[in-house]
Protein backbone atom coordinates (compact mmCIF):
# COMPACT_ATOMS: atom_id res chain seq x y z
CA UNK A 1 0.00 0.00 0.00
CA UNK A 2 1.42 3.39 -0.98
CA UNK A 3 1.33 6.23 1.47
CA UNK A 4 -0.38 9.32 0.15
CA UNK A 5 -0.44 12.88 1.37
CA UNK A 6 -1.04 13.08 5.09
CA UNK A 7 -0.30 9.37 5.58
CA UNK A 8 1.23 8.45 8.90
CA UNK A 9 4.50 6.59 9.14
CA UNK A 10 4.03 2.92 9.93
CA UNK A 11 4.44 1.79 13.53
CA UNK A 12 7.87 0.42 14.33
CA UNK A 13 7.71 -3.35 14.21
CA UNK A 14 10.27 -6.09 13.89
CA UNK A 15 10.47 -6.89 10.20
CA UNK A 16 10.80 -10.44 8.97
CA UNK A 17 14.23 -12.01 8.73
CA UNK A 18 14.47 -12.01 4.93
CA UNK A 19 13.52 -8.33 4.64
CA UNK A 20 16.00 -7.45 7.37
CA UNK A 21 18.77 -9.38 5.62
CA UNK A 22 17.97 -7.75 2.26
CA UNK A 23 18.03 -4.26 3.77
CA UNK A 24 21.31 -4.91 5.55
CA UNK A 25 22.91 -6.28 2.36
CA UNK A 26 21.76 -3.19 0.43
CA UNK A 27 23.36 -0.87 2.99
CA UNK A 28 26.63 -2.83 2.98
CA UNK A 29 26.77 -2.69 -0.82
CA UNK A 30 26.13 1.08 -0.77
CA UNK A 31 28.93 1.57 1.75
CA UNK A 32 31.34 -0.33 -0.49
CA UNK A 33 30.58 1.93 -3.45
CA UNK A 34 30.32 5.18 -1.46
CA UNK A 35 34.06 5.72 -1.09
CA UNK A 36 34.73 4.79 -4.72
CA UNK A 37 32.08 7.25 -5.90
CA UNK A 38 33.53 10.01 -3.72
CA UNK A 39 36.99 9.45 -5.19
CA UNK A 40 35.66 9.29 -8.74
CA UNK A 41 33.64 12.50 -8.32
CA UNK A 42 36.65 14.33 -6.86
CA UNK A 43 38.92 13.11 -9.65
CA UNK A 44 36.37 14.27 -12.22
CA UNK A 45 36.17 17.69 -10.52
CA UNK A 46 39.97 18.04 -10.41
CA UNK A 47 40.28 17.08 -14.06
CA UNK A 48 37.55 19.52 -15.05
CA UNK A 49 38.81 22.47 -13.01
CA UNK A 50 42.58 21.91 -12.84
CA UNK A 51 43.27 19.72 -15.85
CA UNK A 52 44.90 17.05 -13.70
CA UNK A 53 44.22 14.84 -10.71
CA UNK A 54 47.31 14.03 -8.68
CA UNK A 55 47.57 11.84 -5.59
CA UNK A 56 48.80 14.75 -3.50
CA UNK A 57 45.76 16.87 -4.42
CA UNK A 58 43.33 14.03 -3.77
CA UNK A 59 44.93 13.32 -0.38
CA UNK A 60 44.79 16.99 0.61
CA UNK A 61 41.12 17.38 -0.35
CA UNK A 62 40.03 14.17 1.39
CA UNK A 63 42.23 14.66 4.45
CA UNK A 64 43.94 11.28 4.07
CA UNK A 65 47.51 10.16 3.46
CA UNK A 66 49.00 9.63 0.02
CA UNK A 67 49.48 5.87 0.67
CA UNK A 68 45.73 5.65 1.43
CA UNK A 69 44.99 7.40 -1.87
CA UNK A 70 47.44 5.15 -3.74
CA UNK A 71 45.70 2.04 -2.40
CA UNK A 72 42.28 3.31 -3.45
CA UNK A 73 43.52 4.40 -6.87
CA UNK A 74 44.89 0.89 -7.47
CA UNK A 75 41.49 -0.56 -6.55
CA UNK A 76 39.67 1.87 -8.84
CA UNK A 77 42.07 1.07 -11.69
CA UNK A 78 41.49 -2.67 -11.13
CA UNK A 79 37.74 -1.98 -11.30
CA UNK A 80 38.24 -0.27 -14.68
CA UNK A 81 37.21 3.19 -13.45
CA UNK A 82 40.47 5.04 -13.97
CA UNK A 83 43.92 4.74 -15.42
CA UNK A 84 47.13 6.08 -14.04
CA UNK A 85 49.73 7.66 -16.29
CA UNK A 86 53.26 7.87 -15.02
CA UNK A 87 54.15 11.45 -14.08
CA UNK A 88 50.70 12.64 -15.27
CA UNK A 89 48.28 11.69 -12.51
CA UNK A 90 45.08 9.74 -13.01
CA UNK A 91 42.36 9.90 -15.65
CA UNK A 92 38.85 8.47 -15.68
CA UNK A 93 37.83 5.76 -18.09
CA UNK A 94 34.42 5.97 -19.75
CA UNK A 95 33.05 3.81 -16.89
CA UNK A 96 34.57 6.24 -14.39
CA UNK A 97 33.06 9.26 -16.14
CA UNK A 98 29.68 7.52 -16.18
CA UNK A 99 29.95 6.80 -12.45
CA UNK A 100 30.84 10.44 -11.76
CA UNK A 101 27.86 11.71 -13.80
CA UNK A 102 25.40 9.34 -12.13
CA UNK A 103 26.65 10.09 -8.63
CA UNK A 104 26.57 13.84 -9.25
CA UNK A 105 23.05 13.56 -10.65
CA UNK A 106 21.84 11.70 -7.53
CA UNK A 107 23.53 14.32 -5.36
CA UNK A 108 21.80 17.14 -7.23
CA UNK A 109 18.36 15.54 -6.89
CA UNK A 110 18.81 14.92 -3.16
CA UNK A 111 20.14 18.44 -2.61
CA UNK A 112 17.24 20.03 -4.51
CA UNK A 113 14.80 17.90 -2.50
CA UNK A 114 16.33 19.01 0.80
CA UNK A 115 16.27 22.65 -0.32
CA UNK A 116 12.58 22.24 -1.25
CA UNK A 117 11.97 21.03 2.31
CA UNK A 118 13.50 24.26 3.63
CA UNK A 119 16.91 22.92 4.65
CA UNK A 120 19.65 25.56 4.47
CA UNK A 121 21.91 25.41 1.39
CA UNK A 122 25.07 24.45 3.32
CA UNK A 123 23.31 21.70 5.27
CA UNK A 124 21.49 20.43 2.18
CA UNK A 125 24.77 20.17 0.27
CA UNK A 126 26.53 18.38 3.12
CA UNK A 127 23.66 15.98 3.88
CA UNK A 128 23.17 15.15 0.20
CA UNK A 129 26.79 13.99 0.14
CA UNK A 130 25.91 11.05 2.36
CA UNK A 131 22.35 10.35 1.25
CA UNK A 132 23.17 10.19 -2.47
CA UNK A 133 25.00 6.88 -2.03
CA UNK A 134 22.20 5.11 -0.18
CA UNK A 135 19.00 6.29 -1.84
CA UNK A 136 16.98 3.83 -3.92
CA UNK A 137 15.84 4.62 -7.44
CA UNK A 138 12.22 4.71 -6.25
CA UNK A 139 12.98 7.20 -3.48
CA UNK A 140 15.17 9.27 -5.78
CA UNK A 141 12.32 9.52 -8.30
CA UNK A 142 9.94 10.65 -5.55
CA UNK A 143 12.49 13.26 -4.39
CA UNK A 144 12.89 14.47 -7.97
CA UNK A 145 9.13 14.85 -8.46
CA UNK A 146 8.73 16.62 -5.10
CA UNK A 147 11.52 19.09 -5.87
CA UNK A 148 10.23 19.72 -9.42
CA UNK A 149 6.75 20.45 -8.09
CA UNK A 150 8.23 23.24 -5.97
CA UNK A 151 10.46 24.79 -8.68
Q: How far apart are the first and last CA of the chain?
A: 28
Each residue of 129-142: pLDDT tens digit?
Answer: 889 988 999 999 99
Task: Report the Cα 26 to chain-centroid distance in Å.
Answer: 14
Residue 11 pLDDT level (bands cut at 50, 70, 90): confident
Provide the pLDDT for residue 4: 56
Determine what percent of the chain is predicted with pLDDT higher than 70.
87
pLDDT reading at 25 higher than 90: no
CB 62 within 8 A of CB 42: yes
Each residue of 105-124: pLDDT tens digit?
Answer: 999 999 999 999 999 999 99
pLDDT reading at 6 higher than 80: no
Distance, in Å, from the CA atom of 36 to the CA atom of 42, rounded to the nearest integer, reads: 10
Residue 84 pairs in a beta bridge with 90
| Complete domains list, the chain, with CATH | 17-149 (1.10.10.10)
In this structure, is the dihedral angle defined by the CA atoms of residues 8, 9, 12 and 15, taken in order, positive or negative?
Answer: positive
Amino acid sequence: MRAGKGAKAPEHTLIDEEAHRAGFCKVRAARRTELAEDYIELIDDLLTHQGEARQVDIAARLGVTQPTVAKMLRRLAEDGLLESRRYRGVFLTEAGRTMARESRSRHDVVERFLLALGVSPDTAHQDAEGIEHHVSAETLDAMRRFAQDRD
